[in-house]
Structure 1
Amino acid sequence: MDRSLADELQLSGPEGLMDMKTVTEVKTVETMTVDLRIENPENGHKFKLKTVTCVRDLALSPPAVSDKRLKTLYPELQELNLPELNEAPKILIGLDQAALIAAREVRRTSRKNGPLLQRTLLGWTVTGRVVMRHDTVKHPPEVNFLHTEDMWSTEQFGCKYDFETPFSPEDRKADNILNSEVYHDGTRWVAPLLRRDRDEPFPPSRQMAQKRAKAFEKQMEK
């Protein structure tokens, strides 16, 4: 029950806290527990509701279709003399009061798949689909094609470089070599050694060259 309705009826009771679970979150709200009586507007029969929990801002939406529109769509409603209430509900009656909301009589409407009219101890209710509309089904083949058209291209193979990370000197040098010296000789692609260093002087002797090669192999093994 919405706390504003309890204040309007001047109801009071013990207060506390409660964890309320919604679609997106679980939040702790302040509550007040009250007892009250409700009445069937048709016959005046009254019923007592005990330990009703009140919270601030129940946040319920008003009916999607007005009572006047419903009576236009379904003439059967005019025979029931239902009151026109187009405001957001301020109280929810759940299964702990199942006897009050159980259907005592059920009537069908004239339209196919139209709503059902159910009589309860509290009066008549309209239950079911009340607006006839055409459902639109979205076909996703075009979207799937855009996602998969380059799936098997060479550019999609292997690991992709993180271009947001600055190039290291070695990466920048290798990238420059690839951009400037890779070519196709008519039969195949030819690429130079990416690890070569143009500024590196040649060793003075064969023995020094072998030592440098072994040192390079050890670096590669790490």
Structure 2
Amino acid sequence: MTRTENQRVPAQTTQPKEDKPTVVANKVKVTESVTHDMHTMIVPVWLHNVSNEESKVLVYALLDEQSDASFIKESILNKLGVSGPSVSLNIHTISGKQITDSIKIHGLKVRGYNEEVEISIPSAYSTENISAGRSQIPRPETAFDWPHLKAISDKLMKYDPNVDIGLLIGLDCAEAIMAEEQIAGDSKKHPYAPRTELGWGIIGRISPHSSPLEDAVVVYRTVTQKVEINEEKRVNFLVVPTKTKEMANPSQVRDMFELDFSDRKSADTPLSYEDKRFMSKMKGGVHQLKDGHYELPLPRKDDNVKFPNNKLLAEQRLNKLRAKLGKDNQHKGDYKVFMDDMITKGYAEVVPTKDLVRNDGKVWYIPHHGVYHPRKPKKLRVVFDCSANYRNQSLNSHLLQGLDLTNKLIGVLCKFRQESIALVCDIEAMYHQVKVNPEHRDMLRFLWWENGDLNNEIAEYRMTAHLFGATSSPSVANFALKKAADD
């Protein structure tokens, strides 16, 4: 339900149809069951269309950085009195294909409930429902219950049951969902509060000692498919938001397991916009070195991104590591062996003196820590924390993850039956076998002591190869492997 900016509309209640679920995806049924102790980034906004700026409605908007497109609830369109060209959407889900009719809307503008800045939404698709639970809407009383969030309790609108969750804003309107500042608690388990141009929100579990009422989850799927607009075929991107709860249906469980052995062609699976960008960067940037290794760029989302200087963060983490290594000689020895081996084999190098000072925003320092293999207690691997956050930025947040390029199980099993003898092999340090373009290596800097001696000066190193910990490394390494096989 919505209300106008100047007049309250009497509340009306519409019960969902139980015999016809809104969306069926992954062989599961859409339900209204959600956990009651979680908040997500849902903010109240004033919404209008440029064709009629006097007609404004208040709605809750779900800010979803996993969606490539924006959606508006059909009932809200009726309130605004706007329409657009009809679109036939061919939706691909795990359970199959589904055709649905939608309307493409242009000219929408939003403004936060207590904000002054208006933001234009490039386009939005109509949908019957926005799949988000009302219990997930942030409320002032939630902020007041947490000491670190009390300061924003008066900046959140009092919960209004008469206001619909009528809008989903995706990455096509990044300025609306990008956090400008953030308040975090003492623990990573505590809820945190980001502020966008549309106002404050709260994300996370708000009742740390409670447990979910039901095993319900929210799934967002992005697919790319041809759509028809006025009988003209164009390529558009559709994000299918579904709230799913597993059903104990034997036939559906069987179908789910059989998906691993599906014989459908990979060409039938549409690529997302970001996957297409990833493949374009890989195909355009791959080249083979004289020693036979392939060199590939870091697949950045924005090639013009400028990083803040996070050396202080790396130094703080290194000091904590120094204290830990100083108390455990075994750990220190294993750590030194790993780092010496990585540098000796050329996977990392000392940063040249001429490159030490750079102010172009193309330098990023990566903290690291050691992890022992659970089945090999004496084997330590140094993991680079590419998700380390500094001023709301991390290396992983700027990298394209890429698509899953691993061989499908059905193909592997079939090939084992082709010949009498099957050969299995392992590539040692697979990620390190793929080199990084020289112009990208300063974004993979790390700090370490000269010769691994904790009493020596701290030196700056940089990776020459893709590293364990980067979100893009699995796809990059598999792309290089397939390229080597093709060549």
* TM-score, length-scaled by structure 2: 0.25
Matches within 5 A, 1:55-204: 55-64=127-136, 67=139, 69-75=141-147, 76-77=149-150, 78-85=152-159, 89-109=165-185, 113-133=189-209
Corresponding residue for 2:111? 39
What is the distance in 2 between the residues matched to 1:72 and 1:111? 17
**SS where residue 42 of structure 1 aligns?**
coil
The 1:20/1:63 distance shift into structure 2, 3 A limit, reads: farther
Is contact 1:34-1:54 (8 Å) kept? Answer: yes
The 1:23/1:90 distance shift into structure 2, 3 A limit, reads: farther
What is the distance in 2 between the residues matched to 1:68 and 1:43? 17
Indicate the larger mover: 4-13 or 105-114: 105-114
What is the distance in 1 between the residues matched to 2:175 and 2:81? 27
What do the CA deviations read for 1:186-215 (whole angstroms, capped 9, x no partner)?
A: xxxxxxxxxxxxxxxxxxxxxxxxxxxxxx
The 1:65/1:102 distance shift into structure 2, 3 A limit, reads: closer
What do the CA deviations read for 1:138-185 (whole angstroms, capped 9, x no partner)?
A: xxxxxxxxxxxxxxxxxxxxxxxxxxxxxxxxxxxxxxxxxxxxxxxx
- Structure with higher Rg: it is 1
Corresponding residue for 1:5? 76
Deviation at 1:94, TM superposition (A): 1.1
Is contact 1:66-1:86 (8 Å) kept? Answer: no
Letter in 1 for 2:116: G
**SS where residue 4 of structure 1 aligns?**
helix
**SS where residue 183 of structure 2 aligns?**
strand
What do the CA deviations read for 1:57-94 (whole angstroms, capped 9, x no partner)?
A: 33432224772551353252454420023556221111
What is the distance in 1 between the residues matched to 2:203 and 2:184? 10
Letter in 2 for 1:123: G
The 1:23/1:16 distance shift into structure 2, 3 A limit, reads: same
**SS where residue 97 of structure 1 aligns?**
helix
Two-structure CA RMSD over aligned residues (Å): 2.9
**SS where residue 122 of structure 2 aligns?**
strand
The 1:96/1:4 distance shift into structure 2, 3 A limit, reads: same
What is the distance in 2 between the residues matched to 1:59 and 1:98? 20
What is the distance in 2 between the residues matched to 1:23 and 1:8? 34
Deviation at 1:18, TM superposition (A): 0.9
**SS where residue 201 of structure 2 aligns?**
strand
Q: 2:121 aligns with which of 38, 49, 61?
A: 49
In structure 1, stretches of 5+ residues that fail to align are 137-222
Structure number with greater CO (CA < 8 Å, separation at least 6) is 2
Is contact 2:156-2:200 (8 Å) kept? Answer: yes
Identity %: 20
Is contact 2:138-2:202 (8 Å) kept? Answer: no
What is the distance in 1 between the residues matched to 2:115 and 2:138? 24
What is the distance in 1 between the residues matched to 2:202 and 2:193? 5
Is contact 1:30-1:56 (8 Å) kept? Answer: no
As a proportion of its length, which structure holds more strand? Answer: 2
The 1:39/1:5 distance shift into structure 2, 3 A limit, reads: same
**SS where residue 60 of structure 1 aligns?**
coil
Count of aligned pairs: 136
Corresponding residue for 1:220? none
What is the distance in 1 between the residues matched to 2:76 and 2:146? 31
Deviation at 1:95, TM superposition (A): 1.4
What is the distance in 2 between the residues matched to 1:56 and 1:28? 14
The 1:56/1:126 distance shift into structure 2, 3 A limit, reads: same
What is the distance in 2 between the residues matched to 1:79 and 1:59? 26
The 1:53/1:42 distance shift into structure 2, 3 A limit, reads: same
The 1:110/1:86 distance shift into structure 2, 3 A limit, reads: farther
**SS where residue 47 of structure 1 aligns?**
strand
What is the distance in 2 between the residues matched to 1:99 and 1:66? 21
The 1:86/1:21 distance shift into structure 2, 3 A limit, reads: farther
Deviation at 1:113, TM superposition (A): 1.9
* TM-score, length-scaled by structure 1: 0.52
In structure 2, stretches of 5+ residues that fail to align are 1-71, 213-487
Is contact 1:31-1:55 (8 Å) kept? Answer: yes
